[in-house]
């Protein structure tokens, strides 16, 4: 059966490869670009609808969700977009720490605003195992600033969010995926994993009707289930994270 899949952050790297592999398999894909320039670039390599908006802005994230809704029913969303920024702590136009807003709050807001599809995939990282979820300091306003620490925290939050969404939406298949250390602009040339291998699991989860692809609540890498970090499986932390995201974004999740 043909699926329609929305992939965030899909103008380069894993996101572009994921979108391309979905299209190659005969499915429909909706691409997301941060800005009009990137949108024009991706149109030269992939024939697909493109929605535009910077996920470091709540207003633009809402615009992205509205554009996706206007394109009709969606079968799967791959929350691929993410950033790793070195240097000092940076706040967005909304006064929120940038890594947290893009990596955690944006996928929450898109989940809240786009009708819940049959499949939800949240990209995380093996670095999540060294992260911390401090519910009263999610944006490292009081803890010592560390760009690497903020990234690790955000990726642990994404596993917790996926686990929470799996409970919240039992009719959907929800998965957190670690693509591995991949040869991309972020991963660098020394990474051991090629970009197609790093994209294959999320493509399979978004489009396959094989029974093995239809188990919700898992954390996976390279087609295999991994044990989730203990913090991410704590339901009180999961619920606290969703409550914080609802407060910061001004959007509640729909009922299951």
Residues tagged active-site: 151, 155
169-205 exposure pattern, b = at least 16 Cβ within 10 A, e = fewer: beebbbbbbbbbbbbbeebeeeeebebebbbbbbbbb
Pairing of strands 218-221, 173-177: parallel
Whole-number Å distance between alpha carbons of 10 and 173: 21
SS (H, E, C) 155-181: HHHHHHHHHHHHHHCCCCEEEEECCCC
> 124: exposed, middle or buried (C-beta count within 10 Å: 0-12, 13-18, 19+)?
buried
For the chain, give percent helix, strand, coil, nearest 5.
45, 15, 40
Helix (H) or strand (E) holding 32: strand 28-33
Whole-number Å distance between alpha carbons of 93 and 253: 23
Of 13, 12, 14, 50, nearest to 29 by C-alpha is 50
Map residue 233 onto helix, strand or coil: helix
The tally of CA atoms less than 13 A away on the side-chain side of residue 140 is 22
């Amino acid at each position: 059966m043909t699926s329609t899949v929305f992939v965030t952050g899909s103008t380069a790297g894993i996101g572009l490869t994921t979108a391309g592999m979905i299209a190659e398999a005969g499915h429909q894909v909706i691409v997301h670009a941060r800005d009009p320039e990137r949108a024009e670039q991706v149109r030269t390599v992939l024939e697909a609808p493109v929605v535009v908006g910077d996920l470091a802005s709540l207003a633009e994230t809402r615009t992205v969700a509205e554009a996706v809704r206007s394109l009709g029913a969606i079968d799967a969303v791959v929350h691929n977009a993410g950033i790793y920024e070195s240097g000092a702590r940076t706040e967005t136009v909304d006064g929120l720490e940038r890594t947290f807003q893009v990596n955690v709050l944006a996928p929450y807001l898109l989940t809240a605003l786009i009708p819940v599809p049959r499949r939800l995939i949240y990209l995380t990282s093996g670095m999540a195992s060294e992260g911390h979820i401090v519910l009263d300091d999610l944006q490292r306003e009081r803890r010592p600033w560390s760009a690497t620490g903020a990234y690790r925290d955000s990726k642990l939050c994404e596993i917790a969010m996926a686990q929470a969404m799996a409970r919240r939406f039992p009719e959907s298949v929800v998965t957190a995926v670690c693509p591995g250390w991949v040869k991309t602009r972020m991963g660098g040339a020394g990474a051991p994993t090629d970009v197609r291998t790093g994209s294959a699991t999320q493509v399979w989860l978004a489009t396959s009707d094989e029974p093995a692809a239809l188990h919700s609540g898992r954390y996976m890498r390279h087609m295999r289930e991994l044990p989730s970090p203990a913090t991410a499986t704590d339901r009180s932390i999961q619920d606290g994270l969703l409550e914080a995201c609802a407060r910061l974004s001004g959007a509640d999740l729909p009922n299951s």
